[in-house]
Every structure is written in C-alpha cells, then in structure tokens.
Structure 1
Amino acid sequence: MRVRTMIRCREIEIADLDAIADLLTRGFPIRSRDYWIDGLRRLSVRETPDSFPRFGYMLEHDRTPVGALLLIHTARNDDGRVSIRCNLSSWYVEPAFRSYAPMLTKVAQRHKDVTYVNISPAQWTWRAIEAQGFRSYCGGLFFSFPALSRPVRDMRVEVVRQDAQAVDGLSEADVALLARHAAYGCLSLVCRAADGRCDPFVLQSMRIKSRIAPPVIQLIYCRDVADYVACAGAIGRFLLWRGRISVALDANGRMKELVGLYRERRKYFMGPHCPRLADLSDTELVIYGP
C-alpha cells in the first residue's frame, strides 16, 4: 500500500524556533546554532507590521520542519507614504523535499504591494532570481579607504549609544534608527560639521573570506551616498583608531570621489519601490549578523 506524503506550508511560530534553528544549522554548516537562535530571538521582540509573519514560513512533514524561508518585514517611509519591505533571508529545504520548495517562495512573495529584497544571493542563483522577476538594484561593493580622503575642517564624529533618546540636529526617527542598530551591535555615528549639518551613519563589522583582506567595516545606513563621500575623511580617521582601514558600501561601479576597489556582488528587488544604495537598515545583516 502506498502512503501519501503530507507536506504543509505554514507560518513559523515561537514554538518552532528550536527546530528551525536545528534545520538551518544543518543547511548552513558555516553558521552556528547560536547564530540562528540569537537572530530569531531578535525577531521575536522586534516590531513587525500587522498581518505579516514575524519569522517567515516553513515546510512541515509529520510535524517536523523540513524547509524554511526566513523573512524580515519592515514598515518604511517612502516619499511620505508608509510601505512594506520584506528581506528574503535564509532559505533551506532538506534534499528529500526540494520538489516542494516553490511552495515557500510562492506564499512568501504573494503580496504585490510589498517590495521584496534579496541582499545576499550567491552568484550561481542570479539567473534563477531574475527568472522570478527580480531586478538588480546594486551591482556590487566599493571597498573605500576613507582615511585617504581629505577631511572637512572642524568636522566631529560622535558615537550614538543604544540608550540614546535625543541627538541635536537629528529627527526622532533618525535617533531611533541609530539607537536600535547600536543595540544590534552596530557602530552608530553622527558626523557634525561646523555649519551645524548633522549626518547619521550605521556601520557594522564585515566577514571577509580572504586572509589577506584589510580590516573592513560595512556601511549599513546613510541618508545618501553623497553624505558618506562628504564625511569620508573624518570617518576614516575615526575608524583608524579602532583598527578599521576600509569601509565597504553599495555601489554600481567605481566611485571616482573615493579611493578604493570595486567588486561585483549584486543585490536584487521586486516590487513597487526600488531600494536606495547604502540603506541596509533592519535587514538580515544586522538582525542575524554578518
């Protein structure tokens, strides 16, 4: 007698987190179980837009997860209107159940008014991602050496802590973003110019596979790439004292205003709002870690 295999796709719930962490640890051997547990715990207390899943979706067989697609939904202000962005994060399905994998992506990407982003696709997946309707909005990373940029006279760099309530020159939303990311372990900074201009930045340590790579930190957030270019000299000297030589930032080619190297590393989106370069706030990079 032939037994029918029952597969169900459903939202990941709090009670599933230990089993999901075990599944992803098997699927991504370079990541520890603690890496997944820490990120899932952050998602469990993070503000999530109403009606959207907090963690993502799972494939279940015999009450056991055999596949998972992690999602991070964020309400954002796009041109004065609230929009929803979804970071399609880690995806894994046990080999015996790979034929059911499309169930995950179909249910996860069904909202036409949501902007979906994939910020860490492996190169071998680019064609498949494009076949799903995704478009590249970022071609790679520019590894800048900001200490070689000319500093702006009398510009100060200040650290914003996770308990910050207000910062002169910044809006409540900016302060909340800087404090939230400081709590995630990022380096939140403000560059204050002599004329009173105040620019926020978020940076995070970056994993580099090469043993000969210089110490790199990644630019997670700034209002505009031009702000980083203007403040690069001050930021570079500030980071030198902390052992960081290079700042990697989203780019679509070589940046003439900065000294550095460009490497192809695409990021994709699908939906109504094309993401800005150098805005990786509230994504997998900070919630799960580099």
Structure 2
Amino acid sequence: QVAIVGDVHGSWRGDREAAALRLLAPHLTLLVGDFGNEDVELVGRVAALPLRKAVILGNHDAWVAATPGGQQNCVRQQLALLGDNHVGYGTMPLDEQGYTVVGARPFSKGGKNFSSIRDFMDDLYGVKSMEESAERIVQVAQSAPAHHTLIVVGHNGPAGLGSRHFDICGVDWESGAGDHGDPDLQAALATLHRAGRRVALVTFGHMHHTLHAANSKGRASRLRRMVALDPATGTVFLNAATVPRVTPAPTTPPATLHHFMVAELEGGEVVAARDVWV
C-alpha cells in the first residue's frame, strides 16, 4: 500500500499528518512537491517525518531559484534536508516488495518549454534539454533490478494523457485547452516500455483538481479527471493534487480533514486506488 500526498501549498500540520499516516499504515509515502514557495522550514518538517518516504520537489519549491538569475540557496537547503529521500532523477528500491521508486524531473512546471529552466537544471543536474531529461529518467530507471516493477513519481505527469480542460494534465486556464504534461516523462515511459520494463504506477500532482471556472462550463462538475489508464501497458496514472488538501472538518471544528490518495499494488499492478480524508 502506498500513500500519496498531493500539492501541500503550506497546508501542512506536522503532528496531524504523522498521525494520519500512522493510521493509514502504508509501506511507503510519496510526496509530490509544491510544499510552499521555497519554504525551507516546512520541508524540514516533512524530512523529519519518521516513516519511509520518497519526495520530489515541485516548481513552487524553486519559485525564485528557477527564474533567470535566481539564487539557489533555498533549493539547495531543501535538497540537503531531504537527502536520499528526494528521488528526483534518482531511485529508491523496495527490495522486500519487489518495487523500485523512480523519480522523474524535479521542479517541473509542466508543458513543452525547457528554455526558461535550462540554466537552473544545468546547474543542479547537468541537464540541458527535454531529450537529456528523458535520457536521465531512463538511465536511473534502468539501474533498478531487472525483476523490480517500477513506481514513477513526478511533480507533473507525462504528456500524452489528453488535451481537454478536464483531462488529467489538461490546460484549464486557457480557452483553447491543451496538453500540459511533461514530454520528457512521456518519452522516458515509452522507452522503458519498449525495453520491457514494467511501470505499474505513475503518480504526480501540479494540475489541481478544481478547474478554472470559465473553462468548466457544460460539465456536471468543475473537477479534473485525476485517474488515467494506459490499456496498452497497464500503467495507472494518479494525480494527487487535491487543493487545498487540508479542510475544516464539517462537524467537529477546529478539527481538520487531510487528503491522501492510497494505491494498493499486488503482483506488479495497481489493484485499487482511492481518495482518503483523515
């Protein structure tokens, strides 16, 4: 069982999060980033969670650093606090379960444009293009034991999952819609599939579940589709970005409810996934 924490955006109650995760009792907790706008203190509290976790930082976690001329001090502090728990362009083996967590490109803001982050990604990772990023993801994934099933975690999901406003990585802030997924992750997944690697789960955040009001007309709800399946590969895609993820409990204030996605994997595939409020 895997618990997934979507975009935090400052909504983090350390003791309550730890209590909720103890109740859920997952084998692993995945946190998909956007903790705050380079909020080093909050990331430090996440790093201190006494449980097995894999983290990937999001675009808000490099809110200033990824801009031209931006200072990287806060980003490097966050990476130092997380240590090996940060899996961007890295792996975390789960040998007892026969899985390996693979980190996609960290700090993703989605879409095709790499030029605006090229210097930032080059400084941190020596990656200068979408193509090099895809190659890096494949390289680290192929370092996993051959018999392991892969769980891929990114801040944003891959391109290729739809271009309607309500699709899992669809553009909802422009009337023309579009696909805002990451092309490098899409390419990496295709390469891994051709190489015979099994990817059971790809999970991410970034694309919030509530759609922009102007572009949700005609739908029964203003909610994004948060689950997708590739029937050719059996890979399940889960978007955990329910925002805000902490809300007041309706009947017992000042209690709060905290959102998690929970995925169950058996035999190298996802057999169940659900939203949980604790």
Larger relative strand fraction = 1
Please say which structure displays the higher CA radius of gyration. 1
Provide the TM-score with structure 1 as the length reference.
0.28
TM-score of the aligned structures, taking structure 2 as reference length: 0.29
